[in-house]
Structure 1
Amino acid sequence: MPQSSIKDYLHESQLFLGRAIASGTLVLLVLLILVGRLFYLQVENHDHYTTLSQDNRVKLEPLPPTRGLIYDRNGAILAQNLPAYSLEITPERTENLDHTIQELSEIIDITEDDINRFHELRKQRRRFDSIPIRVRLKDEEVARIAVNRHRFPGVDVKASLLRDYPQGMKTAHLLGYVGRINEQELQIIDTSNYRGTNFIGKNGVEKSYESMLHGNVGLQQVEVNAKGRVLRVLENQPPRPGDNLRLFLDMDMQATALEALGDYNGAVAAIDIKTGGVLTLVSKPGFDPNLFVEGISAKAYRELEQSLDNPLFNRAIRGQYPPGSTVKPFIGLAGLEYDVVGYHQENYCPGYYQLPGKDHKYRDWKKWGHGKVDLERAIVESCDVYYYELARTLGIDRLYEFLTGFGFGQPTNIDLDGELSGLMPSREWKQQKQREPWYPGETLIVGIGQGYFLTTPLQLASATATLANRGHHIRPRVVDSIEKPDGTQIESPKIVDELHQLDPIHWNQVIHAMSQVVEGVRGTARSIHTDHYRIAGKTGTAQVFSIKQDEEYDEETIAKRKRDHALFIAFAPAEDPSIAIAVVVENGGHGGSVAAPIARKVMDRYLIGAPDAG
């Protein structure tokens, strides 16, 4: 029979009691810690954690402002914001994103560039954000999507405001365009004022007046759920719209200038002499700025960038051309002012000019010569030999001093970004840039507006306006007035400089000679004479390449891109000028036959309302 064990009930009871007390003590300790923590959270740091909780529930969202509009002088819309339909996808609500995009591509045109741009935007957005994959949908495309809407959960057609330029390439270089903000721009803008905004002015008026056109961002306080979705709007602070701009630009004149250029490339700049307002600023060829708003395709951009005609280049303010004979009235005025020549003093032109003791012949455009020539005839017939001698007599130092007074070699400081200054050469410039002395022959070449001498079309128009105003210079400007959201109008300031206090007789003599360029029987621009008003002008030709001493320029045998540029400057009416104009026609050949008629059509539009056929 097995031996039975005897239990020690007292010992076991004591052991159980000890363990129970230890467990109870531990539970109590943990409970005290929890109560202490709850007290700390709910009482001591109640305000802090309430704020954090509120931040998780309530968010501030930016409300982007509506960009300001741009008008021409007559109220024609140049830049506006149009409602546009876009196809957008919310990734979170789409089961198979790639499959959805593939099926959508069978309904409407979605390019590889569209898909790449969509995936780039996905990296910057949250999964529940709606992301555009196609913009500017046509009505037919919207209808197709609407019919098939049930097949595509997470796909919506939404309306938004997009920048639109109704005049297209006619105003592309002047207005510029807006585009998506890039990394470099993020470093310089006030990012708080661009929250919710994807676009910024890239060039032209859109860039120069960005701070006014953009406006001020608004804010709204919204309640969101745990996933960040908006449930309701709690508070709203509306944005301040951007300012509207009214330009001096006359769209009818702009269109006339473009049409008059025809198949030629070039630039036209016309200025209101009384105000300095830019009436026309054409650079041809142009481009469609609407392509850049939502992002131009890589293929389209390459075509623009690689085009031999360089349509992205703003010739009006960045093109630098030799002024050619258009500079002769200014140099003639210098000769009168420095008293190195009389208005009726004659020099003989045999068709060439030689420096004393030199064999090299500097040719006149008229190879058999002009015979006896005074200053008036030298301007009217554009005699080069007369100006070779006048330039030599004046010297480069006085030429530099006098011509820079008219703004040559300096930016006009127009209210546009990116203007170049041209080049008015001097002894100091050549020594600094080329480490060479200035040679007498170079002075002769400057005297006919060639060689190192360069000017922009706008600069040439501004100098012409100053000449017409008899030294009264008004800085060119594009914007006439700024309209605030409350309707207040602010006119842009007129900046005036008195550049030259010259003998009134000399002004009258040079202006009379310029009027004979058009009115006289021997004038190089007599073909644009009109009975409606009197024109004072000067033709010019700028060489694209140099011709050797024993060679002749034959336009028929020279490739088009190497032919001379045609130039013309003018103001009208000659007795009381209101408009000054400069025309540069690339590879146009002759200023009188090609550039002058373009200027006449633009002035007709301004002075009599339409180009005159007579």
Structure 2
Amino acid sequence: MGKKRQTIRDHSAEANLFARRTFVSMLLVLVFLSLIIVNLYNLQVNQFEDYQTRSNGNRIKVLPIPPNRGLIYDRNGVILAENRPVFSLEIIPEEVDDLDNTIAQLTSLMELTEDEIDRFEQERKRQRRFKPVAIRNQLSQQDVAIFAANQHLFAGVSIEARLSRYYPFKDTLTHMLGYVARINKRDLAKLEDSGQAANYAATHDIGKQGVEKFHENTLHGQVGYQQVEVNNQGRVIRVLDFQEPIPGQDIALNIDIELQQKAQQELAGRRGSVVITDPRTGGVLALYSSPSYDPNLFVHGISQKEYSKLLNSKYSPLLNRATQGRYPPASTIKAHLALIGLEEGVITADTTIQDTGTYQLKNVAHVWRDWKKWGHGEVGVTRSVEVSCDIFYYDLAFKLGIDRIHEGMSEFGFGQFTGLDLYEESEAILPSRGWKRARFNEPWYIGDTISIGIGQGYWNATPIQMVQSLNFLVNKGERHVPRLLKGYMLEGEVQDLPVEMKPPMTIVDETNWNLVLDSLYGTVNREHGTARTAFLNTPYTSAGKTGTAQLFTVAQDEEYNEDAISEYLRDNAMYVGYAPYDRPEISIAVTIENAGGGSSNAAPLARRVMDFYFERATAAKIAQTSTQEPQSESIQ
């Protein structure tokens, strides 16, 4: 067996190799250590402020605080829209062991609806688990009492209080006042586009219609903030700073709530509207549309069933008839047309026609009829308005032509927005050659002009336009813009805003205006006036014009028979008027759908509203006089 070969180790070489490896390792350690030191220096010194800011961003949060919404008052200081405390049932999901079981128990106890549960689930998915989510937004006193007695059974469930909008007059002011409701995705998109999203960071509701929407920026206020310290889970530990929100501005409207209630009472559920203004300023004293609905239904979220009921109602309660209802103005515009004829020189104060009950153009087979079958005999300008002679205005319209009629009536505000501070307004239609060509691709015919002469045909107008045009007439061309907003409430007093005016109308001859105004006086006060019966024995002197708007065309050989046609095809009753005649304080437009004649239906309603206005004004003057009388000295 051979001997094992022995290897001789070179200890010197191994020592040198170890030394080299040790040197390289130490060098690498020093390099990496240097990199760590440089990086630490960079983090701790160079980027200290940046990382401190980031750290504070994780530790300190800025939470928005919603402002209280401004209140709305009427012209006499009566509150029309207020903020009331409401109670909501809220759940913090993180603190509930079995959420499904808790909701089932709450449903049994509180009779929660499927809509409420669905809204809760949708909101819960958008919130962090430790934040409260409302499952019922408006608790009744009974709900509060029931839950309070059983609260010990529901960990993580509580009742919270907050302020919510409330409309004490309910359906009396809906179409004018509007309402607020929950902010939706469309609202958020608009707020972001306008750069106002940050100001609504903590706000739940926003104006959706009416004054609430139009004056949203004034009523909302400015959001406040609180700076809080939070832990790594986002929980608030303490408040570091607080910036108080600025409440929305309280506003006062021109609306007189008692006059508004009187208008509602007189319409008594019939379809129509009553618009009342102060012709001296354009201030809207009442604006009521019937039928109406309770806006409080929308504040906390209306159910789909209730909304469908409103949306699909054949009576259209969601429509603001005072500003969006489009009606043939009928005979209410005859005084306006007479003025245009006088100013254009087409007729004079001495112009007369012979009314036999029919009107016919040469070489035209069609016959136009007067509302009075046997006619009115010889009729001049003043009497044509007083008796509402159709034949006079057929002839006047023919002589004027549609171009001059359109130009003149545009000056009175027809076919355009009035400038009222509501978004819910229609321009309606003041037809012209161009309009008909664009709408129907047809030329304008003479027969179209004849119908326009009595406010029929393609022409339609809103009640707010009709009362505005009356004000322009009464003020002899001065044009006040109708306004709901009167001013701002400061220390319990109304600070009035300046009256807004449009450029005045051109007056060719003031005598023409006086003649037309006298004809409106005669309509109410002279023996043959169409509104005389309605205004007998008033303690004030008024003027006005009745109108009966026909909704379908009666054939040449037929007569209008109300009993033989559908209710929705019956005539609309209309009246526009003002008082006192020599110093107007109040102007009114009444429209009652499918009610029949204006003289027998709309005019009496206007009379009762005017009586109420002046009776109250007289009582107020008597009360003021009695308080100003000096007290007699007592006899010693």
TM-score (norm 2): 0.90
3-state DSSP class of the match of 2:503?
A: strand
User: Which residue matches 2:530?
Assistant: 524
Match of 1:257 among 256, 263, 266: 263
Match of 1:210 among 211, 216, 227: 216
Match of 1:78 among 77, 80, 86: 80
Kindly state the Cα deviation for residue 10 of structure 1 after the two structures are TM-superposed.
11
Q: Write the distance in 2 (CA, Å) between the matches of 1:184 and 1:381.
A: 53
Match of 1:173 among 169, 175, 186: 175
Kindly state the Cα deviation for residue 487 of structure 1 after the two structures are TM-superposed.
8.3
2:437 matches 1:435 = no
Q: Write the distance in 2 (CA, Å) between the matches of 1:508 and 1:485.
A: 44
3-state DSSP class of the match of 2:109?
A: coil
- Aligned AA (1:81): N
Q: Write the distance in 2 (CA, Å) between the matches of 1:48 and 1:429.
A: 65
- Whether the 8 Å CA contact 1:424–1:454 is kept in 2: the answer is yes
Match of 2:317 among 306, 311, 320: 311
User: Which residue matches 1:395?
Assistant: 401
Q: Write the distance in 1 (CA, Å) between the matches of 2:598 and 2:496.
A: 40
- Whether the 8 Å CA contact 2:369–2:390 is kept in 1: the answer is yes
Match of 2:594 among 575, 583, 587: 587
3-state DSSP class of the match of 1:162?
A: strand
- Aligned AA (1:148): N
3-state DSSP class of the match of 2:289?
A: strand
Range with greater deviation from structure 2 (102-111 or 28-37):
28-37
Kindly state the Cα deviation for residue 444 of structure 1 after the two structures are TM-superposed.
1.0
Kindly state the Cα deviation for residue 87 of structure 1 after the two structures are TM-superposed.
0.6
User: Which residue matches 1:552?
Assistant: 559
2:608 matches 1:601 = yes
Q: Write the distance in 1 (CA, Å) between the matches of 2:224 and 2:62.
A: 10
Q: Write the distance in 1 (CA, Å) between the matches of 2:392 and 2:316.
A: 37
Kindly state the Cα deviation for residue 428 of structure 1 after the two structures are TM-superposed.
2.6
User: Which residue matches 1:407?
Assistant: 413
1:430-509 matched pairs, under 5 angstroms: 430-483=436-489, 489=495, 491-509=497-515
Kindly state the Cα deviation for residue 492 of structure 1 after the two structures are TM-superposed.
4.4
Kindly state the Cα deviation for residue 337 of structure 1 after the two structures are TM-superposed.
2.2
User: Which residue matches 1:111?
Assistant: 113
- Aligned AA (2:567): K
Q: Which string of whole-angstrom CA distances, capped at 9 and with x for unpartnered residues, describes residues 283-330 of structure 1?
A: 111121111122211111111111111111111111111000111111
User: Which residue matches 1:151?
Assistant: 153
- Whether the 8 Å CA contact 1:268–1:316 is kept in 2: the answer is yes
2:543 matches 1:536 = yes
Q: Write the distance in 1 (CA, Å) between the matches of 2:151 and 2:175.
A: 41
- Whether the 8 Å CA contact 2:542–2:577 is kept in 1: the answer is yes
User: Which residue matches 2:631?
Assistant: none
User: Which residue matches 1:425?
Assistant: 431
1:121-136 matched pairs, under 5 angstroms: 121-136=123-138
Distance 1:397 1:45, change over 3 A: closer
- Whether the 8 Å CA contact 1:605–1:611 is kept in 2: the answer is no
- Whether the 8 Å CA contact 2:70–2:219 is kept in 1: the answer is yes
Range with greater deviation from structure 2 (336-345 or 198-207):
336-345
Match of 2:361 among 355, 361, 375: 355
Distance 1:244 1:364, change over 3 A: same
- Whether the 8 Å CA contact 1:347–1:373 is kept in 2: the answer is yes
Distance 1:40 1:8, change over 3 A: farther
Range with greater deviation from structure 2 (24-33 or 542-551):
24-33
Question: Percent identity among equivalent residues?
Answer: 45
Kindly state the Cα deviation for residue 545 of structure 1 after the two structures are TM-superposed.
1.7
Kindly state the Cα deviation for residue 576 of structure 1 after the two structures are TM-superposed.
1.3
- Whether the 8 Å CA contact 2:252–2:494 is kept in 1: the answer is no
Q: Write the distance in 1 (CA, Å) between the matches of 2:573 and 2:565.
A: 15
Range with greater deviation from structure 2 (432-441 or 91-100):
432-441
Q: Which string of whole-angstrom CA distances, capped at 9 and with x for unpartnered residues, describes residues 485-541 of structure 1?
A: 998946244224321314232222222221222222222222321421111011111
Match of 1:381 among 387, 391, 403: 387
Q: Write the distance in 1 (CA, Å) between the matches of 2:615 and 2:507.
A: 33
Q: Which string of whole-angstrom CA distances, capped at 9 and with x for unpartnered residues, describes residues 102-150 of structure 1?
A: 1111222321111111122122211111111111211111111111111
User: Which residue matches 2:627?
Assistant: none
Kindly state the Cα deviation for residue 402 of structure 1 after the two structures are TM-superposed.
1.7
- Aligned AA (2:595): G
User: Which residue matches 2:140?
Assistant: 138
Kindly state the Cα deviation for residue 400 of structure 1 after the two structures are TM-superposed.
1.6
Distance 1:487 1:574, change over 3 A: closer
Q: Write the distance in 1 (CA, Å) between the matches of 2:514 and 2:28.
A: 111
User: Which residue matches 2:340?
Assistant: 334
Q: Write the distance in 2 (CA, Å) between the matches of 1:125 and 1:487.
A: 43
Kindly state the Cα deviation for residue 9 of structure 1 after the two structures are TM-superposed.
12
Range with greater deviation from structure 2 (295-304 or 476-485):
476-485
3-state DSSP class of the match of 2:190?
A: coil
Kindly state the Cα deviation for residue 20 of structure 1 after the two structures are TM-superposed.
9.6
Distance 1:569 1:29, change over 3 A: same
Q: Write the distance in 2 (CA, Å) between the matches of 1:486 and 1:550.
A: 65
Distance 1:81 1:515, change over 3 A: same
Q: Which runs of 5+ in 1 are unaligned?
A: none
Q: Write the distance in 2 (CA, Å) between the matches of 1:428 and 1:478.
A: 34
Q: Which string of whole-angstrom CA distances, capped at 9 and with x for unpartnered residues, describes residues 406-440 of structure 1?
A: 11112111121132112222223223332322211
Q: Write the distance in 2 (CA, Å) between the matches of 1:521 and 1:461.
A: 25
Distance 1:128 1:611, change over 3 A: farther
- Whether the 8 Å CA contact 1:318–1:456 is kept in 2: the answer is yes
- Whether the 8 Å CA contact 1:252–1:605 is kept in 2: the answer is no
Q: Write the distance in 2 (CA, Å) between the matches of 1:105 and 1:610.
A: 55
- Whether the 8 Å CA contact 2:480–2:499 is kept in 1: the answer is no
- Whether the 8 Å CA contact 2:467–2:576 is kept in 1: the answer is yes
Q: Which string of whole-angstrom CA distances, capped at 9 and with x for unpartnered residues, describes residues 250-290 of structure 1?
A: 11111111111123111111110111101111111112111
Q: Write the distance in 1 (CA, Å) between the matches of 2:396 and 2:454.
A: 10
Q: How many residues align?
A: 610
- Whether the 8 Å CA contact 2:487–2:494 is kept in 1: the answer is no
User: Which residue matches 2:630?
Assistant: none
